[in-house]
Amino acid sequence: MSTRAGFVGLAGRPNVGKSTLVNAIVGAKVAIVSDRPQTTRRAIRGIATQPPAGWQMVLVDLPGVQRPRDALTERMQRRVERELVDADAALLVVDGHQGIGPGDRYIAKALLGAKHGTAVVCAVNKCDRLGTPQTAAALVAAAELEAVDEVFPVSARTGTGLEPLIARLASLLPTGPFLYSPEDQSDLPSEVHLAELVREQVLRRTREEIPHAVEVQVDEIQVRDDGLVEVHAQVWVETQSQKGILVGKGGRMVREIGTAARKELERDLGAHVFLDLQVKVREHWRRDDALLDRIGIE
């Protein structure tokens, strides 16, 4: 039996549910989820494989398209553009609950410029929050976007509508061998994946500038003889005041983040975890190209 394999690049405004959609299609948590813009900073590849059907889909969860403000967001934007040019198909995700806005039209226009014969499928997400008339109106508006070839109503949260969307995307993949082992679900290094799980818990508990100013780096992972996994991580912020907020009165905030993050790490690793979490100030890290290189934000 011949097989199909290829890349699907996901584009969309921040916070339309791209990461949730990737996780739902892959069937595992490969991308962190929060309601904060800029949650996704790297191009995270989620790998969905169906050996009986003979296809492997590599979903590239791209940062939300935005106008660059610093070295970090410039890199994020360049990565979006590169990945979309190289993709075998593009999936534009829009928020059906919010409706189609100028941001969606801006992205669709950008997709048109990068299309080069690549099919663009649009997923109208969060349709579980809409009635039938509202869903129909959202689908019509999405179909009118530049570059869009087909439109599918879905709910990444509940799984509604995913099967026909997945079947269509799989049909767009080129014939060829699988690109990854069928057991693989992501290509992120373990240290980066665990760091992202920690950052997710920071995002869920902070507001204002803190979520944008935070990065997490896992320095060391050790498996002890008794099976306990030690994870040593740094949480970076840019100012002392941000550090004070993140540590919290008497260390309450960082303990809360650490407890929640440890549970996520244990769920992911299938083992008991000791998490050592240190909060440090690294001024202007988002503007430091050399540092961004080292932490893998291309």
Query: What pLDDT is attached to residue 170?
Result: 97
Q: What is the pLDDT of residues 17-76, one digit of tens each?
A: 988 999 999 999 998 887 766 666 666 789 999 999 999 999 987 655 555 566 666 665
Residue 246: what residue type?
L
Say what the pTM is. Answer: 0.81
Reduced to 3 states (helix: H, G, I; strand: E, B; else coil), residue 50 is strand
Count the alpha carbons within 13 Å of 73 in the hemisphere toward its beta carbon.
13
All structural domains of the chain with their residue ranges: 4-171, 190-294
Q: Is pLDDT larger for residue 275 or for residue 65?
A: 275
Q: 83 pLDDT band (50/70/90 cuts)?
A: low
Q: What is the pLDDT of residues 209-246, one digit of tens each?
A: 787 888 999 999 999 999 999 999 999 999 999 999 99
* Domain 190-294 CATH (choose: 3.90.1260.10, 3.40.50.2020, 3.30.300.20, 3.30.450.20): 3.30.300.20
DSSP code per residue over 229-295: EEEEEEEEESSHHHHHHHH-GGGHHHHHHHHHHHHHHHHHHTS-EEEEEEEEE-TTGGG-HHHHHHT
Q: Is pLDDT larger for residue 66 or for residue 194?
A: 194
4-171 homologous superfamily? P-loop containing nucleotide triphosphate hydrolases (3.40.50.300)
Query: What pLDDT is attached to residue 167?
Result: 97
d(CA 251, CA 96): 40
d(CA 282, CA 288): 10
